[in-house]
Amino acid sequence: MIGHRAAKGMFHVASILMLLAVFSPAQAGTVVDEAGRRVFVPASPRRIVALAPDISEILFALGLEKEIVGVSQFSDYPPAAKAKPKVGSYVHLSLERILALSPDLVIGTTNGNRREAVNKLEKAGLAVYVTNPQRFSDIYQTTLNLGRITGREAAARQLVDTMKKRAERIISLTASCPKPKVFVQIDSNPLVSVGRNTIYSELIAMAGGQNIAAHAFGKYPRYSMESLISEKPEVILLSSMRGKAFQKADLVSWSRWKDIPAVRNSRIYVVNADLTDRFSPRIVQGLEEIARILHPERMESQGQQAKSGRKK
């Protein structure tokens, strides 16, 4: 029988081994990033600059808060990201600010960062790893890749495993439900939606809905009100990225169109764009929110029902 002191010592050893497994140092070397570029990545980077909000979210989720020395303009999650030095927006990055932070690794994305900006950073002698997630499942691989190059490989595997289980649960819960016709509004003048080659359209399908714009031409198709009425959407989702003032105006504007089932049945909802547009771990939360909106009767036991954003 193991004594109390010996058992306590074994517990401490086990705890240390677990920490070493989660925070194992990355090996320096040349890797191929998600854009197909060969990049020399230092061992266990200690000064990382993230050039997009979704990248900083992944890094924070992997426990790299201390290593993050700079983030992009709209990086606001988790709250600690707001306090990090800003290096510009997706498109308008400040080379001077980035260089001043003396990063040993810069992580960018094809979803917003310009190629010429990445080239300038490389010419300045910085190691720049570029991510390229396009579909829901790509977020898993991007998370694993970032875990690998930062020495957080085990933490990344744990995070991805949790994300997969949550996503698979939603898909399973909604698989047998009727699939309501959904219209997503990301702009009002002109009326713009999301086509089939978008993460939002994929989320709708995974949550058990039909994106009426999935068969339209282009990634962000435009609609006339007449064509939208003919589609008879049963649910309308308004993107929060337009801001609260626009959301209120949109809700009032929609109330006039009683011929649309979603309007008639008060099924108009504002959805947090950060949960649906960012290729980050929170995309699963966005999936869950859409599922609650589309199938409240199925999801009510799993969490609070979605509330209509429309004024009564």
Rounded Cα distance, 64 and 46, in Å: 9
State which amino acid sits at residue 194.
Answer: V
Taking a C-beta distance cutoff of 8 angstroms, is the pair 183, 305 a contact? Answer: no
Spatial CA neighbour of 128 closest among 143, 114, 144? 114
Give how far Cα 123 sits from Cα of 47, 99, 166, 196, 312, Å: 19, 12, 42, 37, 57
Show Cβ contacts of residue 295 under 8 Å, excluding neighbours closer than 6 positions. 173, 174, 177, 207, 208
**CA pseudo-torsion sign 251, 257, 263, 264:** positive
The single-letter code of the amino acid at 305 is Q
pLDDT of res. 242: 59
Please answer whether residues 283 and 276 qualify as being in contact, where contact means their C-beta atoms are separated by less than 8 angstroms: yes
Handedness of CA 216, 309, 268, 251 (dihedral sign): negative
**Tokens encoding 38:** 């060969």
pLDDT value of position 8: 43
Domains and CATH numbers, the chain: 23-162 (3.40.50.1980), 176-302 (3.40.50.1980)
**Angle at CA of residue 182, ends 203 and 198, nearest 5°:** 40
Amino acid at 133: P
The amino acid that residue 78 corresponds to is P
pLDDT at position 240, please?
84
Residue 64 is predicted with a pLDDT of 98
> What does pLDDT average to in each consecutive run of 10 residues of the chain (312 residues)?
42 39 58 96 95 98 98 97 96 96 98 95 97 97 98 98 98 96 93 94 98 94 95 95 67 90 96 95 98 92 50 35
Sign of the alpha-carbon torsion through 290, 296, 297, 302: positive
- The rounded distance, in Å, linking the Cα atoms of 52 and 114 is 12
Q: Give the E-state strand segments of the chain in sequence order.
A: 29-32, 38-41, 48-50, 68-70, 105-109, 128-131, 181-185, 187-188, 191-192, 210-211, 222-223, 235-239, 268-271
Q: Are 76 and 301 in contact (CB under 8 A)?
A: no
